Chains A and B, each alone.
Chain A
Amino acid sequence: MAALVTLVKNRYREEPSFDETLAGHPGFPRLVALKIDVQRRGVSYTDRAQAAVDPAIHQLRSPYIFGSRDGAIKPLPESLLLRDGTTILTDPTPLEQDPYIVDYLDGEFVLVDNGEVREAVELWSKPAYYGKFTSSGQPMSHIVSARPQRLNVFQSSFCYFWAEDKGCKFCDIVTHTKQQREELGVPNRLRPEDVRETVTEALKESGRFTSLCFTAGSVIKGDTLFDREVDFYVELLQAIGEIFRTKKFPSQLIGSAFNEKQLTRLYEETGLSSYTSDLEVLDEEQFNWLCPGKAKWVGYKEWRERLVRAVDIFGRGNVGTGLVSGIELARPHGFSSEKDALSATLSEAEYLAERGVTTVYIVWVPRPGSALRGQKAPSLDYFIRLAQGLQDLRVKYKLRVDFDDYRRCGNHPDSDLARLQ
């Protein structure tokens, strides 16, 4: 397979090599840079690697809120771990898009690029509750999915912004939901009893999970905008809260930009310990273009101010916003240079950090089910600078990011760096 890849290796990207790029950032950890690059370029599993995957001990891909680069749902490994404990969330990518190769050599899985082994990797361990069923007959892995240390509860896989053709341009939630429903029978909306039962079962595995993450598409319905979305979360969080002996439990909700009344309700009536609402891109014009639903119903400045107001309720270090980094350079309306994109993003992130809101990013993957399909993510150099810039802001403003770090999330290269903070 490696030889084949060398043959088909094309000029998919005209850019310096990994080593050349990293040489310009001697203070940046190589393993985190590798994570970024693997996320940016995706992976392809050789036949040998696929044969070495053992479904009895390795976690295979479970239903996820967003789709993958190859647009297919296949029984491949969920994702990878590096030897420093860094998680790489990545997905299978067609060979013509120049992914890293995951091979199996001398008894271990390895990441290969250009025919060279770059690093050994481990596959995620299969959680003990996978393969079990709820009393209502649902596969538990369809109700709650696992990361190495986190449980994901994707409460509903529908976003009302899509209904008016105003879904975010990088998002494929509805296309993917339809595919998961048709191919796997994954339910559209979760029943709180099924979730409570699954979480209880999952936590029987000692030492496996450290936090719960809740997310879903935006629900604009209700007396006030998003009231129904908050209702769903409150119901779910209360059902799960019954199993814990403390009122608050380590948890993250990634939801719409709720108003103060809604946030107070979430904080006071449930065990939720942190709140995240994704601005996706830190520039008003780009936000209007890339997130038309969010722009129409809330608007950039109001979304941002709701985050700031959430700090009064959840506290500093417990409120965050996520970026799909790279979309700020998407064609045709994105920034024309990485330098401008970086400086605009970091200046807005500083505005938020000063006010107690932390910013994390995920690497943009132009998914085939999204409006930006076919485009390419920016350079590794850009993502390294952004990760370092966001982490420097956390240090400058003494902000912690415990609820969204390498262990409790694992999808943000910038918060991987917070391990040294």
Chain B
Amino acid sequence: MSAILSAEVIDLLNSQETAKILATVDEHGHPHAVVKKSLHNGGDGNIHLLEILESSHTGRNLLGALWFGRKVSISLLGKEGRQVQIKGKPLKCHISGPLFQRNYVKLRERLGDVDLAAVWVIEPEEVIDADFAERKARQDKERPTLIHLDRLLKETAV
């Protein structure tokens, strides 16, 4: 079990107002990035996803990732503009059992007559601060030569 999700990231994950994108790839390397509002903190150190459709492209890619060791990526954008990227791997797919059934009931209470195909468990392996100001400050500090020269000109030189 991993414990790399900070309280701030957990809040972002659990907020209804956070935009959540899950990116997966298929066996040919074709990317597939979609909004997945149901991504949430699983409470076990992992991120859980409710996959409603059995025929879902994401579901197939997650299975391929679990079977063949591919990674997935999650991007979170909070309502205040906070951005975080999480890289991880699918660990488990609940298609029955207590966790599945609990989520099935809760989902139907919330959304009405829908089904549930699986509860996916994604283990976070790396959390990257994707906040623009943070990233810019880091690059400016660590790699100051990555800059267009015109930005370095003295005002009097123009």
- Interface residues, chain A, with chain B CB atoms under 8 Å away: 29-32, 81, 83-85, 122, 124-125, 148-149, 205-208, 406-407, 419-420
Contacts and interface: CB of A to CB of B under 8 A. Distances in A.
Contact of B118 (A85, A148, A206): A85
A81 B96 contact: yes
A233 B7 CA distance: 57
B128 interface: no
A195 B122 CA distance: 40
A206 B60 contact: no
Given A83-B93, A208-B96, A30 B101 contact: no
B137 to A, nearest CB: 41
Interface of chain A: mostly helix, strand, loop or mixed = loop
A30 B68 CA distance: 8
A207 B97 CA distance: 9
A246 to B, nearest CB: 13
A30 B67 CA distance: 7
B26 to A, nearest CB: 9
Interface string B91-108: 111111110110011001
21 contacts: A29-B67, A29-B68, A31-B67, A81-B97, A83-B66, A83-B91, A83-B93, A84-B63, A84-B67, A84-B92, A84-B93, A85-B93, A85-B96, A124-B96, A125-B96, A148-B96, A207-B100, A207-B101, A207-B116, A407-B54, A420-B27
B101 A407 contact: no
A58 to B, nearest CB: 11
A420 B93 CA distance: 14
Contacts of A407: 54, 95
B98 A149 contact: no
B64, B93, B108, B118: residue with the most chain A Cβ atoms closer than 10 Å: B93
Interface in B108-141: 108, 116, 118
Contact of A122 (B67, B97, B104): B97
B93 A125 contact: no
Nearest to B101: A207
Contacts of A81: 96-97
A84 B60 CA distance: 12
Contacts of A420: 27, 60, 63-64
Contacts of B66: 83-84
Contact of A419 (B63, B105, B108): B63
Interface in B9-45: 27
Given A29-B68, A207-B101, A149 B95 contact: yes
B21 to A, nearest CB: 23
A111 to B, nearest CB: 15
Given A29-B67, A30-B67, A420-B63, A207 B95 contact: no
Contacts of B54: 407
B98 A125 contact: yes
A207 B104 contact: yes
Nearest to A123: B97
Interface string B66-103: 11100000000000000000000001111111101100
A206 B91 contact: no
Contacts of B60: 419-420
Interface string B47-66: 00000001000001001101
B6 to A, nearest CB: 26
